[in-house]
Structure 1
Amino acid sequence: MPLTFTLDPVVTPGFRDGILDLWTDVTNAGGAVGFVPPAGREDIRPALVRQLVSMAEERSRLLVGHDEEGDVAATAFLTFNTHPLMTHWIWLYTVMVHPRHQGRGYGRDLMAAVARAARTLDGVEAIRLACRGGLGLERFYASCGYKEVGRIPDAIRVAPGDDRDDVVMLLPLT
């Protein structure tokens, strides 16, 4: 059954906890979402609070996918660029699909929903994201229409002796 996507859902305590659980589960399954395993909910909570503050200040938007049981199964944060010469594109952060839902095409569905949502935003002509090299994420995003536009070698230190490229990708919307 496909996910149901909502842009700018009402953030209740239960919903917030659902995002926190998703972020924790994705991290601990090896997902490249800002942390390395093992990570607990309290390790991730400050990053979620920062995202929620950004939403409250209208600097970002949240796209969420719910599964057939109504649980948070996928998320992506669309963040506005505040530089006056770069407001025509947005950043995409914290793209996640719960590990129990992976392999069903939900990641591709999420990326399509992100593009649809971005097209509704005034003046937005492109989506830019950065991903951690070495995990095949570049191939996934390329299959969703994104092009690699930059790469900084060894910019992400996952652990001592384990440095990864920071890969920048872009999806034109026009």
Structure 2
Amino acid sequence: MSDNMTIRRVGGNEAAACVEALADVLIDCVEGGASVSFMLPISRETALAFWSKVAQSVALGERALLIAEDGSGDIVGTVQLITAQPENQPHRADVAKMLVHRKARGRGIGHALMREIDRVARAEKKSVLVLDTVTGGDAERLYQRAGWHRVGNVPNYALMPDGAFCGTTFYFKQL
């Protein structure tokens, strides 16, 4: 990752202030074909509503939100750690919405976000992490390089933004 890039955790108030910039990242990723729960065309209102709910969840302590900023302070990546889990799983968290704007890819931002989410998970006393991703997508290589273990995949689990079916592969990591 370049020296002028920073990864940091934001609290609820700051998360709310980042909604516009986070919406830009989400829209870019969906328009670039990322299957991250949204369909084309994705409206700005949809992206803003999603990030507003995330910011509320951060403020309630249900999740951690990390952002990656470039040298000019623009948000170019993000990932979440969902810590609110059922009573019998206090040691577990879900990693969600690992997104890097297309203009910032290839600079190690995804790897840096995943390394930092591990640190945050440990600080939150989480020892088992899980995530899912599009089967065969670029993110699979990133997760495997970051020490994640493939559990298996479910064919036709979700839709790509254009409406085509895609498989989803599930991963876990023990900290």
Q: TM-score, normalised by structure 2?
A: 0.88
Any conservation in 2 of the 1:112–1:144 contact (CA below 8 Å)?
A: yes
Query: 2: distance between equivalents of 1:136 and 1:8?
Result: 26
Tell me which of 111, 114, 132 is aligned to 2:134: 132
Residue correspondence of structure 1 range 5-44 to structure 2 within 5 A: 5-9=7-11, 10-11=13-14, 14-44=17-47
2:14 is paired with a residue of what secondary structure? Answer: coil
| 1:145 and 2:147 aligned | yes
Q: Which residue of 1 aligns with 2:79?
A: 76
Change (3 A) 1:12 1:29: same
Question: After alignment, is 7-16 or 64-73 more displaced?
Answer: 7-16
Shift of 1:14: 4.8
Tell me which of 97, 100, 112 is aligned to 2:100: 97
Any conservation in 1 of the 2:135–2:166 contact (CA below 8 Å)?
A: yes
Structure 2 alignment gaps of length 5 or more:
none
Q: TM-score, normalised by structure 1?
A: 0.88
Q: Which residue of 1 aligns with 2:170?
A: 168
Shift of 1:82: 2.0
Query: 1: distance between equivalents of 2:63 and 2:174?
Result: 19
Tell me which of 35, 48, 52 is aligned to 2:51: 48
For these two proteins, the number of residue pairs brought into alignment is 171
Q: Which residue of 2 aligns with 1:108?
A: 111
- For residues 67-120 of structure 1, the C-alpha deviation after alignment (integer angstroms, 9 at most, x for no partner) is 100111111111014212212110011101111110111111111111122111
Shift of 1:150: 3.1
Whose relative contact order is higher, 1 or 2, with alpha carbons under 8 Å and at least 6 apart? Answer: 2
Query: 2: distance between equivalents of 1:102 and 1:93?
Result: 18
Question: After alignment, is 8-17 or 41-50 more displaced?
Answer: 8-17
Shift of 1:136: 3.5
Any conservation in 2 of the 1:30–1:36 contact (CA below 8 Å)?
A: no
| 1:117 and 2:106 aligned | no
Query: 2: distance between equivalents of 1:34 and 1:134?
Result: 17
| 1:87 and 2:90 aligned | yes
- For residues 35-69 of structure 1, the C-alpha deviation after alignment (integer angstroms, 9 at most, x for no partner) is 23332311222221221221122111101111100
